[in-house]
Amino acid sequence: MLDNSSGAEAAALVAAALAVVALGIALALAVRLGRLQRSYDALVAGGEGTSFVDAVRAQSVATQALRKDVAVLRDDLGTARADLSDALRHVGVVRYDAFGDMGGRLSFSAALLDDAGDGLVLTSINGRSETRTYAKGVRSGASDLTLSPEETEAIAHATRPGSSG
């Protein structure tokens, strides 16, 4: 019987050791579960009065509002580009002496054109006793009226690359 009781003691010791290990594992899991619960509570309830879900929802709403604003700005930019192409922003000026006995190159022809080459050319011819000014319409870089060489040169200056501004 002595063997039987030492076997029972050994089984009891093994069972006690397994119980201690199980208790340790249970405590470790309880600590870990507590940490997970606190993380979950912070995620759902929020630390500053706003939950994570509410914060994500608010960011989603803000993102949608920004997308709408960007769409409006794209439309406005397209409109501005269309308006700019119609602006008289290409300029070419030629100064010259209209009369041989005058000095100072006081006469000029100035072409004011949009991106399509439409606009006008202004010419001012200065003489000793008078100044005459002419305006001629321009379509696609040409005019229905006869252009002087200086007017043609002013249009050429206005239509060359980099003439905007």
Q: What is the pLDDT of residue 1?
A: 46
How big, in percent rounded to 5, are the helix, strand and coil portions of the chain? 55, 20, 25
The count of other CB atoms within 10 Å of the CB of residue 17 is 10
Domain ranges of the chain: 1-45, 48-86, 90-159
Percentage of the chain lying above the pLDDT 70 cut: 92
Q: What is the pLDDT of residue 73?
A: 96
Query: Residue 155 pLDDT > 60, yes or no?
Result: yes
| DSSP letters spanning 35-90 | HHHHHHHHHHH-SSS--HHHHHHHHHHHHHHHHHHHHHHHHHHHHHHHHHHHS--E
Strand partners, 112: 91, 120
- Distances in whole angstroms, Cα of residue 26 to Cα of each of 16, 22, 23, 40: 15, 6, 5, 20
Cβ distance 113 to 155 under 8 Å?
A: yes
Q: What is the pLDDT of residue 145?
A: 93
Q: Express each pLDDT in 77-101 by its tens digit.
A: 999 988 888 888 899 999 999 887 7
Cβ distance 147 to 156 under 8 Å?
A: no
Q: Express each pLDDT in 6-41 by its tens digit.
A: 888 888 999 999 999 999 999 999 999 999 988 887
Query: Residue 52 pLDDT > 50, yes or no?
Result: yes
Cβ distance 113 to 90 under 8 Å?
A: yes
